[in-house]
Copies of this chain bind each other. A is one copy, B any other.
Amino acid sequence: MANVIERPLDLLNNSKGKEVIVQLKNDRQFSGVLKAFDIHINIVLDNAKEMLNGELKRNYGPTFLRGDTIIFISPA
């Protein structure tokens, strides 16, 4: 973590433009490039890929993910 993380959203800010893994409730997982987020943790991923139990389920282009379904977000 090259940049200082003072608040949780700092990690998301540092991850803009980079590949992230997003775990949703109900075992869905997305990977993609983090384009934007807001304080509700609504996010937009570019080149989003939906994974289910580790296998690619479907390719999406840019995708809006609603914050209240997100469990965690981690830079890939």
Number of copies: 7
- Known contacts: A62-B1, A64-B74, A71-B69. The answer to whether A6 contacts B36 by CB under 8 A is yes
Taking a contact as CB atoms under 8 Å apart, the answer to whether B37 and A8 are in contact is yes
CB distance from A32 to the nearest CB of B (A): 10
Query: Please, what's the 1-or-0 string for A15-43, where 1 marks a CB less than 8 Å from any CB in chain B?
Result: 00000010011101010000111100111
CB distance from A38 to the nearest CB of B (A): 5
- Known contacts: A66-B71, A72-B65. The answer to whether A8 contacts B48 by CB under 8 A is no
Residues of A within 8 A of B (CB): 1, 5-12, 21, 24-26, 28, 30, 35-38, 41-44, 46, 48, 60-75
